[in-house]
Structure 1
C-alpha cells in the first residue's frame, strides 16, 4: 500500500508544469521596552510593554510562477506577545493578522481573498509620522470614548484604522499596477448575512500618486457592525496624506475623518511630522497632532506632541527613546487625556508617556 501511494504522489509531481517555480519567505518584527506613564487611572506607572514601535509578528509570504507574467501569492501572519508568547488579539488565534491567497499579474494587478487590511492602513500608513516617532502609541485616540466603535478597547482606540489594529475578514481586494505614477485599489468585505448582501459589509478604496520623493494618497473605508442597527450602520473613515522625502529629511501631512453613521459622532484629525536622518546610525523624529470631535462627542479636542530618537545598530535593528504629551480640552466640561495603546485614561486633561525600547525585523 505504501509503495502504491508513493508511486501515485511521484506521478502527480511529475505532471506539474516544468517551468513553474515557487518561493516562500519567513519574515517578522519584534519590539520590547519599558514604558512610563505619569497618569494612568490616577497613578503613575512603569511597565514592560512590547509590540508598540513594531507589532510582534511572524509571517509566511509565498508565490508560485504561473507563466506569462502571472503568479499565485499568499500571506499568513501571526501577531503575538513577547511578554508571554500568547497570540494577539485572541489567545486561540493563529494567523489572526492577515491570511489571504490570490493572483498577481504585472499587467493586470493583484487580486486577493481572505482576511486583509483595508486601505486606511495599507494606503495611508506610509504617510503617517507614527512610523518614525511613537509607533502604536502615536496613532489617534483621546477624549472620544463616546465614538463607541464596537469591539474597541477604549471606544476610540486607533479610531481612523491607520494603525492597523483592525482587519477585514471575508474580503476580496484588488490593487492596480502603476500607471505613470498613479495606482488605485478596491476592496469589499462580505457580511455573510443570508438575504442581506449589504449587512455587516465593508467597502474600501484608495488612490495614490508618486513621483520621485513626492507622494499623495487618499483612502476610504466604511465598516458596518452587527451591533449597530443590526448591521446597517457603522464607522466610516476617509483620509488624505502627502509626503516628501529629500533623502535626509522626510516630511508628512495626514488628515483623517472618522464618523459613527448611527449617532453622528465625528472626529477630524490632522498630523504634521518630520524625520531627520542625521547620520546613517542616528535619526530624530517628531510630530504634532490635533484631534477635534463634534457636538455628539461634547466638542472635545486634543493636542498631542511626540518626539523620538533612534540609534540603528544595523539596517534591521535599532534602539530608541520616545516621549508623548497629550492635552485634552472639553468643549462642554472637563475632558480626560488618553494616549493610544494605553488601557486607562488620565484622571486629568493631560497625560505623558516615555519609553525606551529595542526593535528588530527579520
Structure 2
C-alpha cells in the first residue's frame, strides 16, 4: 500500500511538472441547420444537415516549450455528425488529424502522422478559397463528373480538388519558416506495402507568399493507389491569391485534378468576395466554372454561392446561404455534399443554420 501511494504521488508530481511546461487547448467548431434541396434524385428534399458552413470538430492541441525558440507540438482532431454523434470520416476517433512534431521559429515545423496536404494548407488555409466564407462544404468542388471515378470517393467527384480537408496518412511533413514573406513545404506519405517502398505512397508540396494585404499560394499533390507507377495515381495542383481591401476580401482560385487510372480530368476557376459590413454582419459570395475532359463527357458547370451571416457574439452566428449549380444540357448537376445528383442540369440549395466555435 505504501509503495502504491508513493508511485501515485510520484505520478501526480510528474503530471503537474509536465503540465506546468506545456500549453494544452481544447477547441472546436459546431454547425447545424436545415437545408432545402430543389432536386435530389428527382425530388425535393427538406432535411437537417450539419457540418456545412464549418465542419463539426473537437480538437485537442498543445505545445511544450523546449527552449531556444523550439516547441514540441501535437494535434488530435475528431470530426463528428451533429445529428447522430457518429464519428467521421472513417468512423474512428481522430481520423480527421493526428500528429506530433517539432516547431522552431528559425528552422520551421516538422510533423508526423495523419495530416492535411498542401492543397488544404497552402490554398485553403492561405485564404484563397471562397468556401472559407461562403457556404463551406456546399461551395467545394463537385458537379456532373461522376465518371471522374476517384478511388474511395462517395460520388466519384466529391471534393475533387481536396480543399475540404483531405489528408495524407502515415506522413512526414515539413513547413519552412517565413523569409521575406516566402515559405514552402513538402510532405511524404508512406504506402506501407510490404516489399515495395513506392507503392501507395503520396507526396505534396506548397509554396506561399504573404505581403501585407496580399497573399498568393501554389500547391501540388500526387496520391498513388496501389503500385509504384505514376499512371496508377491521382494528381492535383492549383494556384490562388487573395487581397484584403479594408472590410472587403477578394479571392481567386484555380485548381485541377487528373485521375491517371482512367485519364479523366477537370479544371475550375473561382472568384469570391467577402464583405464585413459591420461588426455584426457579413456578406460573401462566389462564382465558379468547372470543365471536364472527354472522359467525363466534356461536361461543365457554373456555380453561384451566397451567404449572409449575423454574429450574435464573437463565437456564435446565424446565417442564410444559397447555392445554385447549372450544368450543360444532358448532364446532371450535383452540388458538393449532396450525395444524390439532380435528375436535371440544375440544382439549388437554400439553408438556414447556426454555428459556434469554442
Deviations 1:263-301 (A, max 9, x none): 211101000000111111111111100000011111000
- State the match for 2:351 in structure 1: 355
- State the match for 1:193 in structure 2: 193
1:11–1:241 distance in 2 versus 1, CA, 3 Å: closer
- Kept in 2, the 8 Å contact 1:225–1:231? The answer is no
- Kept in 1, the 8 Å contact 2:24–2:62? The answer is yes
Matches of residues 262-301 of structure 1 in structure 2 within 5 Å? 262-301=261-300
Q: Does 1:133 align with 2:99?
A: no
Q: 2:147 is paired with a residue of what secondary structure?
A: helix
Deviations 1:174-193 (A, max 9, x none): 01111010000100000011
1:316–1:19 distance in 2 versus 1, CA, 3 Å: closer
- Kept in 2, the 8 Å contact 1:73–1:102? The answer is yes
1:272–1:231 distance in 2 versus 1, CA, 3 Å: closer
User: Aligned-pair distance for 1:11?
Assistant: 8.8
- TM-score of the superposed pair, with normalisation by structure 2: 0.95
- Kept in 1, the 8 Å contact 2:198–2:228? The answer is no
Matches of residues 24-173 of structure 1 in structure 2 within 5 Å? 24-91=24-91, 93-125=92-124, 126-164=127-165, 166-173=166-173
1:234–1:11 distance in 2 versus 1, CA, 3 Å: closer
In 2, Cα distance between equivalents of 1:232 and 1:65: 44
In 1, Cα distance between equivalents of 2:250 and 2:17: 48
- Kept in 2, the 8 Å contact 1:305–1:324? The answer is yes
- Kept in 2, the 8 Å contact 1:214–1:244? The answer is yes
- Kept in 2, the 8 Å contact 1:186–1:206? The answer is yes
User: Aligned-pair distance for 1:215?
Assistant: 0.2
In 2, Cα distance between equivalents of 1:338 and 1:89: 21
Structure 2: 5+ residue runs without aligned partners? none
User: Aligned-pair distance for 1:254?
Assistant: 0.1
Q: 2:58 is paired with a residue of what secondary structure?
A: strand
1:175–1:74 distance in 2 versus 1, CA, 3 Å: same
**Runs of 4+ more than 4 Å apart:** 11-14, 16-20, 228-232
RMSD over aligned CA atoms reads: 2.1
Deviations 1:109-165 (A, max 9, x none): 10000000101011111210011111101100001111111111100000000111x
1:2–1:293 distance in 2 versus 1, CA, 3 Å: farther
- Kept in 2, the 8 Å contact 1:338–1:344? The answer is yes
1:56–1:172 distance in 2 versus 1, CA, 3 Å: same
1:252–1:5 distance in 2 versus 1, CA, 3 Å: same
- State the match for 1:340 in structure 2: 336
In 2, Cα distance between equivalents of 1:43 and 1:18: 57
1:103–1:20 distance in 2 versus 1, CA, 3 Å: farther
In 2, Cα distance between equivalents of 1:323 and 1:292: 22
- Kept in 1, the 8 Å contact 2:231–2:260? The answer is no
In 2, Cα distance between equivalents of 1:8 and 1:80: 35
Deviations 1:197-233 (A, max 9, x none): 111011000000001110000000001113x899961
Q: Does 1:10 align with 2:10?
A: yes
User: Aligned-pair distance for 1:3?
Assistant: 2.2
In 2, Cα distance between equivalents of 1:41 and 1:100: 39
Q: 2:121 is paired with a residue of what secondary structure?
A: helix
1:198–1:9 distance in 2 versus 1, CA, 3 Å: farther
Q: 2:123 is paired with a residue of what secondary structure?
A: helix
Matches of residues 253-268 of structure 1 in structure 2 within 5 Å? 253-268=252-267
1:19–1:62 distance in 2 versus 1, CA, 3 Å: closer
